[in-house]
Amino acid sequence: MATKGTMFAGCTVALVTPFRDGEVDYPALQAAVDWQIEQGTPVISPVGTTGESPTLSHDEHERVIAAVVERARGRAKVLPGTGSNATSEAIRLTKFAARAGADGALLVSPYYNRPTQEGLYAHFARVAESVDFPQVLYNVPARTGRNVEPETVERLSKIGPIVAVKEASGSLDQVSDILVRTNLTVLSGDDSLTLPMLSVGAEGVISVVANLVPRDVSAMLSAFERGEIDEARRLHLRLFPLCRDLLGLAPNPIPVKTALSLLGRGNGEMRLPLLPPDERSRDVLRRTLVRYGLMTERV
């Protein structure tokens, strides 16, 4: 059965938002977009969890979307985060993304207010009915406090604009259940689970690690697609320590921003309530980057 959201298959980078002196650093953001495109990344996803969207003002959120769309200029697809725990705000942001020329919208499930499954359905359905524009559901229960159950995803899959789901529940059974029930494109929301998810039918990943090594993430996806399973497994095992430390040492995006700063590709600045990691965590990240070959050991 053909899937709906194949335009977002492959590697999507969950792009960090660079700051300088408390403000969005737009030149650095543009440089990050250019670098991703040079690396061959087909889809760029700004202002998601990795992009620190909860600490961006509404104006900043829209300006970042517009800036990434403008910089990509058709060279890569743009899938900005437009979700909110207020349905009206999710509609407003999704309408803005459509007007700005994005290729779709990534909609995280409502967080903190912990709606029922019927409430989750009503939320996503209202957005989809309000904006005729490709939409990707984003299920991340560890962040939102609610799992979007496969039965709810099945109901939502019948609404035209909803074309894919980013699954970060950590459950391969849930991924399989969604694939049995729907024709949505399933995208991994956990870098370390991308290969296992591909094995049951997922078609790509929205990746934090791709901020550092997008070519390697894409190579793993391509190897699997070609049926070169041993090569895909080799790349998965090479990427795994990077995935583990970028997502396990501290809440995202603290580790990835710190890693970028260690590599000289950013200043590591975050907005409160996020703080830089302690020195022990920095040392763990540094050793992981050295072992991967991204930086040399300090003398």
- The answer to whether residue 262 is domain-embedded is no
pLDDT score recorded for residue 12:
98
- The answer to whether residue 284 is domain-embedded is no
Active site residue 166: yes
Give the other-Cβ count within 10 Å of 299's Cβ: 3
- The answer to whether residue 178 is domain-embedded is yes
Residue 21 has pLDDT above 70, yes or no: yes
And the tokens for 85? 């725990």
Domain of 223, CATH number, reads 3.20.20.70
- The answer to whether residue 267 is domain-embedded is no
- The answer to whether residue 181 is domain-embedded is yes
Residue 1 has pLDDT above 70, yes or no: no
Residue 28 has pLDDT above 80, yes or no: yes
Q: Domain of residue 205: give its range.
A: 6-228
pLDDT score recorded for residue 198:
98
- Close Cβ partners of 214 (under 8 Å, ≥ 6 residues apart): 11, 13, 36, 39, 40, 41, 207
And the tokens for 234? 């080799």
Exactly one of 77, 111, 138, 257 is catalytic; name it.
Answer: 138
Average pLDDT over residues 272-279: 95
Average pLDDT over residues 22-43: 98
Average pLDDT over residues 179-190: 97
- Give pLDDT tens digits for 79-115: 999 999 999 999 999 999 999 999 999 999 999 999 9
- The answer to whether residue 287 is domain-embedded is no
pLDDT score recorded for residue 299:
36
pLDDT score recorded for residue 3:
76
Number of domains in the chain: 1
Buried b or exposed e, range 16-25, using 16+ CB within 10 angstroms = bbbbeeeebb
- Give pLDDT tens digits for 249-275: 899 999 999 999 999 999 999 999 999
- The answer to whether residue 245 is domain-embedded is no
Residue 296 has pLDDT above 90, yes or no: no
Residue 24 has pLDDT above 80, yes or no: yes
Q: What is the overall mean pLDDT for the chain?
A: 95
And the tokens for 145? 């406090």
Active site residue 138: yes
Residue 297 has pLDDT above 90, yes or no: no
- Report the range of poorest mean pLDDT among 26-40, 153-167, 208-222, 237-251: 237-251
pLDDT score recorded for residue 298:
62
pLDDT level of residue 5 (50, 70, 90 thresholds): low
Nearest to 94 by CA among 110, 86, 105: 105
pLDDT above 90 covers a percentage of the chain that reads 94
Q: Comparing 17 with 297, which gets the higher pLDDT?
A: 17
Residue 53 DSSP code: G
- Give pLDDT tens digits for 196-246: 999 999 999 999 999 999 999 999 999 999 999 999 999 999 999 999 988
Judge whether 44 and 36 are in contact, CB under 8 Å.
yes
Average pLDDT over residues 12-17: 98
User: What span, in angstroms and rounded, lies between the C-alpha atoms of 266 and 273?
Assistant: 19
Exactly one of 77, 111, 121, 166 is catalytic; name it.
Answer: 166
- The answer to whether residue 184 is domain-embedded is yes
- Close Cβ partners of 180 (under 8 Å, ≥ 6 residues apart): none
Which residue has tokens 């997502």? Answer: 247
**Residues forming beta bridges with residue 187, ordered by sequence position:** 166, 204
| Ramachandran region, residue 40 (left: φ > 0; alpha: ψ -120 to 50; beta: rest) | left
- Give pLDDT tens digits for 40-58: 999 999 999 999 999 999 9
User: Reduced to 3 DSSP states, what percent helix, strand and coil does the chain have, rounded to the nearest 5?
Assistant: 50, 15, 35
Judge whether 66 and 78 are in contact, CB under 8 Å.
no
